[in-house]
Amino acid sequence: MPEPTDIRSGLVCVGLNYKTTPVEVRERLAFPEAQVPAAVEQVRGLPGFEESVVLSTCNRVELYATHALPSGKDGHAALREYLIERFELQPEHAEALVLYNLDSAEAARHLFRVVSGLDSMVLGETEIFGQVKAAYKVALDTGTTSRSLNKLFQQAFTVGKKVRNETTIQRGSTSVGSVAVDLAEKVHDLKECRVMLVGAGEMSRTCAQSLLSRGAKSIIVSNRSYDKAVELATEMKGRAMKFDEWEHSLHEVDVIISSTSAPHFVIKPEQIDQVMRKRRWEPLLIIDIAVPRDVDPAVNNIEGVYLYDIDALQAIADEGRRERLRQLASCERIIEEQLEKYGFLKSPGSGGLKLA
């Protein structure tokens, strides 16, 4: 293998993401996990290319590479051609394909932003960090990275950690499901947490899935249509319960997610008062995502009961998003500092590259 080029001059990134490309095109251009090792070898094998990493997630497909071609534009064109050929795009689709073409400092900045969650659909989300790490590991194991990309990706992981440690970009919840999880975590130890769904709407399913994915112990599903309850309970490895029985089991659960279509309150203070006595005052979180509401607001006055309706959850999620947006400037500043520290922002005369 030839000696790698200067990372600041031979680095390119070509890609598409949820901002540039609709899902029906993204899904056509996604690399199945098993095919990524072959893909990184194919990219590295392109004429003039030296190293490659392929990042393919549901929200983005990005090719990072270093090359010894005369210009960055040549690198971009080669990678674009590769994608068109690899996915056998028809000429009209190939022509309509919108890709971002980034060089050196721009490419490094983009990678740093991606790793830090700043380019994600949910600002500050942390899953992308693991996805980039996994993509890099595949390339490393396949042997398509060398000094330049190894250094770049290690720098990116350092920057990602720095952004998360020095700002609160990942803190707070930005969706109703994650608010439910945050609340449950602050009331109970999630591993011991038993959840009951009263009504099997889409939103309650999302909340329950979020809780289960974070380790909730068990789930009971009760719905007017027993078949639907069984279906959802089976999907979530929980237990279905007939709709006329759920009241008798309220004291056995720690989180109630209610989303029935009843036009009146189905959970009332006198019921919960009895439940709390049976629970010996162990705290109870009630998430009411039904409209009209299922739970009488007076329930929140009972000691040890914490009631959140859809507006309360939405307000917390909105505040979480605002808080993350407030952190954005600090994150960008850290990234710029790190780009400078790693030599990406030197003036053209000193061997680096100018910013776009």
Q: Which residues are catalytic?
A: 58
Asked if residue 295 binds other proteins (CB under 8 A), the reply is: no
Footprint (CB under 8 A) of other proteins, residues 127-166 = 165-166
Structure tokens at 46: 């392109």
| Minimal distance, residue 210 CB to other proteins, in Å | 16
Using CB under 8 A, which of the segments 16-24, 29-37, 99-107, 311-319 binds other proteins? 311-319
Rounded to whole angstroms, the Cα distance separating 227 from 204 reads 17
Q: Which of 214, 283, 328, 343 binds other proteins (CB under 8 A)?
A: 283
User: What distances in angstroms separate CA 302 from CA 48, 189, 256, 272, one per listed residue?
Assistant: 70, 21, 15, 8
| Minimal distance, residue 187 CB to other proteins, in Å | 6
Amino acid residing at 97: L
Nearer to other proteins, 202 or 303 (CB): 303
Among 44, 67, 188, 293, binds other proteins (CB under 8 A): 188
Distance of closest approach, residue 316 Cβ to other proteins, in angstroms: 5
304 lies in the binding site for other proteins (CB under 8 A): yes
Q: What is the largest distance, in Å, between two alpha-carbon atoms of the chain?
A: 78
Q: How far is the CB of 185 from other proteins (least distance, A)?
A: 6
Select from 150, 168, 209, 314 the one that contacts other proteins (CB under 8 A): 168
Q: How many whole angstroms separate alpha carbon 287 and alpha carbon 294?
A: 10
Q: Is the dihedral of CA 291, 297, 299, 302 positive or negative?
A: positive
Alpha helices (runs of H) in 99-198, residue ranges in sequence order: 104-115, 127-142, 147-166, 176-187
The interface with other proteins within residues 322-341 (CB under 8 A) comprises 327
Spatial distance between the Cα atoms of 348 and 345, rounded to a whole number of angstroms:
9
Radius of gyration in angstroms for the set of CA atoms belonging to the chain, rounded to a whole number: 25
Q: Is 177 in the site for other proteins (CB under 8 A)?
A: no
Min dist CB 281 to other proteins, Å, is 4
Contact 314, 282 (CB under 8 A): no
Contact region for other proteins (CB under 8 A) — 37-45, 179-187, 225-233, 333-341? 179-187
Q: Are 201 and 189 in contact (CB under 8 A)?
A: no
Asked if 116 is part of the footprint of other proteins (rule: CB under 8 A), the reply reads: no
Cα gap 250→274, rounded to integer Å: 10
Residue numbers of the site for other proteins (CB under 8 A)?
165-168, 171-172, 179, 182-183, 185-189, 280-283, 300, 303-304, 306, 308, 312, 315-316, 319, 327
